[in-house]
């Protein structure tokens, strides 16, 4: 019998799968979903049961048509769920229970926060990447390590007056940009997150956070200038992932860090 696959065919197949987006092994053996038993639907009729008429229905009468379910407004649902959360753990639980954002299905973990609740500075990133998804913590990959060094340079850190979250708690597949709908439906949770964490200032990392919180993009123009959102001062900055790709922009980021430090004063 011939060997199953030569090296080059196996490599080509693997690359093809990566191109299609299958970039992570979720379990040891593949699951053939075509062979799984179909889930029994609640109202399924048993064989030999029923004439097609409803219980209590007169023979010959037309089958009553069930009223169409009202379309769900994901943003309104998010607002309701977020408003009902009285503290951070219940906000986290409300986000975990929220069913309208499809990103959740492709994510391993909900990434809620890191750092100290009640810290003076709240950093808002975009969305978890691969490492964040695996660990369930924001900014733990390469960009996160740079963020830690940036904060440390002005004597801040996850254990020192900084609280970190993201616009989206679930990783978008392939690290694609989140859609406007995804941002809109998760925004009420972010707003409530800010209310409950009670920071003095917000730092927005990159365009997606600016789009969500300020309704504007154009980080090159926005960065370094204080704005206001939800009654708080807001400082847009270059995203650390961008600084990794464009290290010449670190000078601008340093100016923004000094601006933040000056705003906090010496008593941080």
Q: Which is nearer to ligand URA, 6 or 159 (by Cβ)? A: 159
Nearest distance in Å: CB 209, ligand URA: 7
Q: Which is nearer to ligand URA, 77 or 184 (by Cβ)? A: 184
Closest CA to 171 of 160, 156, 186: 186
Q: Side by side, which strands form the sheet with 121-125? A: 114-115, 162-166, 121-125, 201-205, 232-237, 227-229
Nearest distance in Å: CB 217, ligand URA: 15
Q: Which is nearer to ligand URA, 143 or 156 (by Cβ)? A: 143
What is the token pair recorded at 83?
Answer: 């408003």
Residue 134 neighbours by CB distance under 10 Å: 16
Nearest distance in Å: CB 207, ligand URA: 10
Q: Which is nearer to ligand URA, 115 or 141 (by Cβ)? A: 141
Q: How far apart are CA 203 and CA 261, in angstroms?
A: 12
Q: Which residues bind ligand URA (CB under 6 A)?
A: 125-129, 132, 138-139, 141, 143-144, 166, 205, 241
Nearest distance in Å: CB 120, ligand URA: 20
Instruction: Name the residue number minimizing CB distance to ligand URA.
Output: 125
Q: How far apart are CA 227 and CA 207, in angstroms?
A: 14
């Amino acid at each position: 019998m011939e060997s199953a696959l030569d090296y080059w065919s196996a490599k080509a197949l693997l690359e093809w799968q990566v191109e299609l987006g299958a970039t992570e092994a979720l379990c040891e053996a593949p699951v053939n979903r075509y062979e799984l038993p179909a889930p029994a639907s609640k109202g399924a009729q048993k064989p030999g049961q029923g004439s097609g008429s409803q219980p209590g229905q007169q023979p010959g009468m037309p089958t009553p048509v069930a009223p169409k379910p009202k379309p769900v407004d994901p943003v309104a649902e998010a607002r309701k769920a977020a408003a009902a959360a009285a503290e951070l753990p219940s906000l986290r639980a409300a986000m975990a229970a929220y069913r309208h954002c499809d990103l959740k299905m492709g994510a391993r973990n909900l990434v809620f926060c890191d750092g100290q609740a009640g810290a003076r500075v709240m950093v808002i990133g975009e969305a978890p990447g691969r490492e964040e998804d695996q660990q369930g913590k924001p900014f733990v990959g390469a960009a996160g390590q740079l963020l830690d060094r940036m904060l440390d340079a002005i004597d801040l850190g996850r254990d020192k007056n900084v609280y970190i979250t993201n616009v989206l708690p679930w990783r978008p597949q392939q690290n694609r940009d989140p859609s406007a709908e995804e941002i809109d439906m998760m925004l009420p949770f972010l707003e409530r997150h800010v209310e409950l964490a009670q920071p003095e200032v917000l730092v927005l990392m990159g365009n997606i956070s600016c789009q969500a919180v300020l309704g504007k993009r154009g980080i090159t123009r926005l960065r370094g200038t204080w704005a206001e959102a939800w009654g708080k001062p807001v400082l847009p900055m270059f995203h650390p992932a961008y600084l990794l790709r464009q290290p010449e922009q670190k000078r601008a980021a340093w100016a923004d860090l000094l601006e933040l430090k000056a705003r906090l004063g010496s008593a941080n």
